[in-house]
Structure 1
Amino acid sequence: MTQSINSSNITPITISNNLFMCGKDQWAPKGVCYQPTDFVDPISDNNLTVIQNLLKTTTTYGFTNMKINAIRVYQVDPTKDHTKVMNALAAAGIYVLVGAVDHTTVHDGPTIYNARLKAVADEFCKYQNVLGFSIGNETIDPGAKGQNPGYDIPNKIRAGAKYLKAYMAKNCPRVVPVTAALRDDPDFTIPAAKAYMCGDPSERLDFLGYNCERWAGGTLAAKVGAYYTLTKAFEGANPVPITFTEMGSNPRAVSPRTWEQVDYLYGGTKLTPQSGSGSPINMADVVSGGFAFRYYERNAGWGMLTTSGDEIPNHGANSIITEYSKITSFSSTGNTMGTAPCDKNNPYVKGSAIPSSGLPTAVKVTLTNSITNPASGRNIKFNYTSNLNAANPTWIEAVAIKANGPKTTFTFPKGTNGISMIYEVDSKWNQGCQLSGQALLQLADGDTIEGNWMSPDGNGNCAIS
């Protein structure tokens, strides 16, 4: 007689280089973020009836019909039993990314933090369908002006990861992969991501979570270009898997939400830079799937369904079913890096700011006005400064380019440590994109900087090609 699948005998997800594996087969999360109420455990056994209903094929927008293979939960109660719910999810082939922190976070110090991690591991490490433990969520939040870069946080998270892995090796049936989720604030979180993934496997993250809302407004070329820029930023620094622990745009800002990015994320169509200059890349070689944000609406506009399970028009419930249904297997070419060295010049590795005098030499680049939405374009300006970290930086205009205007060249002087692109709407100037820190220092003669709006909130890195 065939044995039924449950949380004790389902094949666990493992990691091979920068890919997830389910046995001998490649795997990636086709997931959804599921946390109906903050700080209330949604998968303890008192929720069994709710979960069973979500798994029924008669539930139009339930987990089974949504074609998901994973859920992300943010907070759990380790004092409760989870066996019945984890068994039900396992029988449906669903894995769980378990949030191991709640009100207790890394900011509470190692004694309290590690005690929380231990408690969650004690309850959940016995379940084979635990995809991983997330030991931090957007812990680095630099602020609009980067006033809180959080350079010390990755080393504290890594210390927690090292403790948790060592504890599980002695006390659990298996060592569950450990991760943390970063917000998409690239000038800060790309170097932070590299700090999380580098060095000794005993303390680095086993995979990286990245909360990505880049697929937002603009043309399809701009959206694909935003994914291209992010993927290129991770290339060569990812010895472990990277997954989008949150993905999608807010339907209140971009409607309807169609989830067309799924095709690119899982490698159906290759990414190309917005400028059209650059070789196409397979995103699935670098990023392994993700979790749609989010299942239920929570008053902020992100949810696909009401709390009663009804579709919210244009929020993407039908679209995610359509797009996830197309993904029936996973195939990409991972890397064989094994490890990545930790860059001592990365402030997130060092744990503190590293003084920078800006560009070491003058750099001559091409500047473009790539705003094509609306079709009439927008007037833009590129400004630069050499005192970005001052209370009131002095910005100097480099060039102004009219709507749909031609490319122009400019030489940014030695010492430039900030470049900003602003665009005009109704006689007001708005932030569109910027370059500073490590992203700025990568500039070289002959590069092209694209003037366009970049997520998040116009503070993303300007695209360089």
Structure 2
Amino acid sequence: MKFTSAISSVASLASLAVYASASYISTKEVSGRYFVDSDSGEAFFLKGVDYQPGGSSSFEDGSDPLSDVESCTRDIVLFQELGINTIRIYSIDPSIDHDECMTKLAAAGIYLLLDVNTPIYGQSLNRDEPWTTYTESYLTHVFAVIEAFAGYNNTLGFFAGNEVVNNETSAEASPHYVKAVVRDMKEYMGNHTIRQIPVGYSSADDLDYRVSLANYLEAGPAEDAVDFYGVNSYEWCGENTFEGAGFDTLVENFENYTIPVFFSEFGCNLVQPRLFEEVASIFSNNMSKVFSGGLVYEYSQEDSDYGLVSIADDGSVTMLSDFTALSAKFATATTSGLSTASASARPTTYLDYYNNIDFNTTIPDTLASTVIADGLNSTYVRGAFVKISDLSSNYSIYDVSGDAVDATMTTKIALTIPTDSAIEQTDSDADEVDSSASASASASASSTASNTASTSDSTGSSASATSSSSSSTSSSASLSNFVSSSEKMGVAALLAAAVGLAVV
């Protein structure tokens, strides 16, 4: 669906939005160098973890971290114990249902950063020979991930690539292909989703490419520039300082960056147990003027030994010493009231040179123009919040001492479900507006056709309308108040119609 403006009443959107939900989890958007709350405009700082139980390399189609409701409920309990507001997931199967897990994350006030690639052949770019994998089939997978998660308000952003550039060969071959994927994702969303979700990139912990690639990816036409940049950094190990770990250099490197930058991975494990002393610096005024927080690598214990928890074969989870250390550090790190700084306008032209990378400014033509224009078929599950009532997991949780912990999550946010009569009334109102908009569009088309002989071309302008309704939070709110899948998506579509948005 691509929305273009039609003549109608904009005021009806606000009234219908309030009518549809008394409270909700607000979306986040990019404004300057920060993610900001779409309602309040307050800067949003990421305090989170990277989450891929089993490890990215073991990912297979048919399951992922948000497809098993028992497991994700168990882990949300632990997310809340950590005090986080964001998780990152590296691999997702878009063909399966994620509604309940995403709804529970929303209820807990937790946002998702999602990589659109997977380790499965044909579902990621070959970093050394990207032209062999940049195909319509690959992009179809990427668009399916977008379709599956664009409907959730707590989808914070998509990573178009993770550490694609990590050596001399990939630095020469891949940067402009990353931009091509970013462009294709943005164009697809512009045509087929109501919300334009930010698209970014996560860089390797390599000083040869990190900053130059960041500068290249933010530059150029808006349609193929990243909206945010993640830095994978493991430079702070054990006891260290802001200067000793080189964080002062990181701030200096990105002090003129025009879009949000944050740690997409951090948490060196060369010194164990990990102390996570860097948390205090990340959420300090020293860094908040440039960096928007970060995510610790990683939630579950895997072969690389970065885990915060250990997951047993029976599904039970035990907190490790790193968990308690990080929880204590996060508890003392505030994400509100931090210093912020304005940014210069994003560069729309390229520099003459970017160190150590091929800064080709000719972006490959898309190989999925038909899919971008027409959209996907039904091979994905379009996500939406659903009614849920069970806040407990059947899996056991144990603290670092081996004592059992209650495996029941709490809620921070609830959505009020519109009554049947409200939905029927909204249907009726929308039908009337839609009919009016269609008539207006037909008249406009007829007028344009009659003037073809004297008018060589015409320009249409697109417009988008946003609305906000008052939000409220309650630690004891019932999760049965969450809006159902059909109601949520139906009302969203009807609200679009209510302001005269014609689908073309």
- How high is the TM-score relative to the length of structure 2? 0.60
Cα displacement (A) at 1:222? 5.2
Rounded to whole Å, the distance in 2 between the matches of 1:233 and 1:309 is 39
CA-based RMSD: 2.2
2:94 match: 78
- Which residue matches 1:182? 203
Distance change >3 Å, CA 219–CA 119, structure 1 → 2: closer
- Aligned residue for 1:76, secondary structure, equals coil
2:271 equivalent to 1:254? yes
**1:122, CA displacement in angstroms?**
1.2
Cα deviation, 1:95-131, whole Å, max 9, x if unaligned, reads 0111100131123114233222111111111111111
C-alpha distance in structure 1 between counterparts of 2:20 and 2:182, whole Å: 38
Q: 1:201 to 1:29 in 2, by over 3 A?
A: same
- Which residue pairs with 1:241 in the alignment? 260
Equivalent of residue 351 in structure 1, options 354, 360, 382: 360
1:90 has 2:97 as partner: no
CA contact (8 A) 1:343 1:349 kept: no
Q: How many residues align?
A: 320
Question: Hey, what does 2:485 align to over in structure 1?
Answer: none
Structure 2 partner of 1:342: 350
For 1:266, which of 279, 283, 287 is the aligned residue?
283
Matched, 1:193 2:241: no
| Matched letter for residue 170 of structure 1 | N
Deviation at 1:88, TM superposition (A): 0.5
For residues 45-89 of structure 1, the C-alpha deviation after alignment (integer angstroms, 9 at most, x for no partner) is 4x1111222233xxxxx0111100010000000001111111010
Match of 1:130 in 2: 155
Q: Does structure 2 retain, via aligned residues, the 8 Å contact 1:122–1:172?
A: yes
Aligned to 1:158, which of 179, 182, 198? 179
Residue type matched to 2:290 in 1? V
Query: Are 1:14 and 2:36 counterparts?
Result: no
Matches within 5 A, 1:45-444: 45=67, 47-56=68-77, 62-102=78-118, 103=120, 104-107=123-126, 108-142=133-167, 147-216=168-237, 219-220=240-241, 223-224=244-245, 226-236=246-256, 238-250=257-269, 253-267=270-284, 282-307=286-311, 308-313=316-321, 316-330=322-336, 331-340=338-347, 341-346=349-354, 348=357, 350-351=359-360
The match for 1:377 is none
SS in structure 1 of the partner of residue 48 of structure 2: strand
Could you tell me how far 1:311 is from its partner in structure 2? 2.6
Offset of residue 219 of structure 1: 4.3
- Cα distance in 2, alignment partners of residues 68 and 219 from structure 1: 23
- Give the counterpart letter for 2:352 in structure 1: K
One-letter amino acid of the structure 2 residue matched with residue 287 of structure 1: F
- Report the Cα offset of residue 35 of structure 1: 0.2
Tell me whether 68-77 or 327-336 shows the greater mean CA deviation: 327-336
Unaligned runs of 5+ in 1: 57-61, 269-281, 353-465
1:211/1:247 contact within 8 Å kept: yes
Paired residues of 2:238 and 2:272 also in contact (CA < 8 A): no
**Which structure has greater strand proportion?**
1
Inter-partner Cα distance in structure 2 for 1:89 and 1:44:
10
Q: Which has the higher helix share?
A: 2
Question: Match of 1:167, SS?
Answer: helix
Percent identity (aligned): 27
The answer (yes or no) to whether the contact 2:52–2:65 under 8 Å persists in 1 is no
Deviation at 1:25, TM superposition (A): 1.4
Q: Structure 1: which amino acid aligns with 2:176? A: N
SS state at 1:166 partner: helix
Q: Equivalents in 2 of 1:110, 1:287: separation in Å?
A: 34
Q: Of the two structures, which has the highest relative contact order with CA contacts closer than 8 Å and spacing of 6 or more?
A: 2
Q: CA deviation at 1:164?
A: 0.7
| Cα distance in 2 for residues equivalent to 1:289 and 1:43 | 23
Task: Give 3-state SS (helix, strand or coil) of 1:101's partner.
Answer: coil
Shift of 1:257: 1.0
1:202 is paired with a residue of what secondary structure?
A: helix
In structure 2, distance between residues paired with 1:339 and 1:221: 28
Gaps of 5+ in 2: 1-18, 127-132, 362-504
Runs of 4+ residues over 4 Å off in structure 1: 1-5
Q: Aligned partner of 2:147: which letter?
A: D
Question: Structure 2 counterpart of 1:328, which letter?
Answer: T
Letter of the aligned partner of 1:137 in structure 2?
N
CA deviation vs aligned residue, 1:218-251 (integer Å, no higher than 9, x gap): 7436534x11112211222x1110111111111x
Partner of 2:49: 32
Alpha-carbon shift at residue 325 of structure 1 (Å): 1.4
2:75 corresponds to which letter in structure 1? L
